[in-house]
Structure 1
């Protein structure tokens, strides 16, 4: 489920946002910066170009409250403990709304890149650092081969846990897209299908980040392996449904979508979802 392994969670005494995490939305350099969207469509992103706020240092026992609640949830299955555990995770573990959105900057940036790559493929254009997603080269390849090419084009291996989590999330998102649209051509997706791929990606990516930080707690506290898997699925469903609903709320009326615009929508959707999670405390 999710990523291949869990860790003990990010330590205290370190920056809440590691220096290698990108800004959620890349700066706009000009009309050609965001394919298919007019320059004014990125106007809401001006806040991203303001001077960055200092990154807070993670406090001691940053995941203490989350571990207590999630450990209780793992043992009993009480949904209230699960919701409050996730609330503690984003409130103190990730630093609350503003810092958490910055910590998940790679999710928003990768979501924009994913949309841009799928859009370029649909337009018959090669995409990716090494042109891994080249419609001409990939014509006639299997769905699995094309999904692998999308992953390589959008999120090349960088040796970070975030990178591996995002790569896994892209694969899951495309698999779910094909489950819903069995006849879909990954190299020629409609805009509706591309937006759905982004929705499923951000939901999986946020859950994968959670699982890396706190999945071990649930695995250790659950009474059995089967219970641990069931509990993790409950958390996954809660997180993915909340994040996806926040994204749909903002993307429904969006126009002139391009990679930067999608990244901005995802950034704002993450803020909405984090507010929902914190509201359970």
Structure 2
């Protein structure tokens, strides 16, 4: 659980999206449209005098007092009883009042989408045998014969170096969680030579685990403190993790059905949109 046991979560009076979180493009390509620019492509500037069709970027709201009060109340009941309805209400309040709604929550997790893109790129490059950059931890020559744990460590260092933020700590743990679950799901997988299905599974799981890690840092302490026993607390936290994973996976399936795949250059956008779908679902539980 990492630092989730000691963190009280962000307080009031601070921006709901910290300054270090990257703000992803606001424009979403239509469902099934593979002609939209890639994540790293600059949008074409409008002709002089032509109106821009991009929606204005809304100011980041400041967190109100007791932003997680409703979340903690519902999670306290969930911790005591294990009732899934209270868990879902807690997730709903977490998005709606804790982060000002699904739109702001999606922006708060802009770093998750960016890291997912970096993870996809790293796993794709090493699988394709592309030459490693000088000093890269993912040098195939250096990793040959290494254990799966050592390869995981190299992936983490290459994709999400330590930068002193809780977000980096959470994402590094989420990458390890995702790769560990990948090896459970695909026991014969080679982390240095993943196929498309294995790589996409890792990206989906990373996105889910990064949400879980942030949630635990913000409000996981309530579940730990209010559960009747340590065993119950661990069980409740696992219940939340499983539910988040299921919801994120369903969001990715919905996007795939609409023709949105985790292809190179579009991972950031697809992950961002899957997270938005997930937060819309969670926000609905606060009704």
Cα deviation for residue 170 of structure 1 reads 0.3
User: Which residue among 102, 113, 120 is the counterpart of 1:115?
Assistant: 120
User: Which residue among 212, 222, 238 is the counterpart of 2:227?
Assistant: 222
Structure 2 match to 1:161: 166
Question: 5+ unaligned residues in a row in structure 1: which ranges?
Answer: 28-36
- For the 8 Å contact 2:21–2:111, the answer to whether it is kept is yes
Q: 1:128 to 1:2 in 2, by over 3 A?
A: farther
Partner Cα distance (1:130, 1:26) in 2: 35
Partner Cα distance (1:104, 1:264) in 2: 12
Partner Cα distance (1:147, 1:137) in 2: 13
Q: 1:129 to 1:107 in 2, by over 3 A?
A: farther
Task: Give the structure with higher Rg (CA).
Answer: 2
Cα deviation for residue 220 of structure 1 reads 0.7
1:193 has 2:191 as partner: no
Structure 1 match to 2:156: 151
Structure 2 match to 1:21: 21
- For the 8 Å contact 1:26–1:109, the answer to whether it is kept is no
Q: 1:3 to 1:193 in 2, by over 3 A?
A: farther
Q: 1:279 to 1:39 in 2, by over 3 A?
A: closer
Cα deviation for residue 250 of structure 1 reads 1.5
Q: 1:155 to 1:42 in 2, by over 3 A?
A: closer
Local SS of the residue matching 1:206: helix
- For the 8 Å contact 1:169–1:208, the answer to whether it is kept is yes
Partner Cα distance (2:226, 2:66) in 1: 18
CA RMSD of the aligned region, Å? 2.7
**TM-score after normalising by structure 1:** 0.88
User: Which residue among 257, 260, 264 is the counterpart of 2:263?
Assistant: 257
1:90 has 2:84 as partner: no
- For the 8 Å contact 2:26–2:57, the answer to whether it is kept is no
- For the 8 Å contact 1:16–1:94, the answer to whether it is kept is yes
Partner Cα distance (1:99, 1:122) in 2: 35
Cα deviation for residue 178 of structure 1 reads 0.8
* Structure in which a larger fraction of residues adopt helix: 1
1:66 has 2:63 as partner: no
Local SS of the residue matching 1:125: coil
**TM-score after normalising by structure 2:** 0.87
Q: State the 4+ residue runs in structure 1 displaced beyond 3 angstroms.
A: 1-6, 24-27, 37-47, 49-52, 126-130, 251-256
Structure 2 match to 1:78: 83
1:173 has 2:200 as partner: no
Partner Cα distance (2:134, 2:71) in 1: 39
1:126-141 maps to which residues of 2 (within 5 A)?
A: 126=131, 130-141=135-146
Cα deviation for residue 136 of structure 1 reads 2.2
- For the 8 Å contact 2:118–2:159, the answer to whether it is kept is yes
User: Which residue among 200, 214, 220 is the counterpart of 1:209?
Assistant: 214
Cα deviation for residue 251 of structure 1 reads 3.8
Q: Deviations over 1:130-180 (max 9, x none)?
A: 411112221221111111000000000111111000000000100111111
Partner Cα distance (2:9, 2:64) in 1: 13
Q: Deviations over 1:170-224 (max 9, x none)?
A: 0010011111111111111111111000011011110000000011001111111
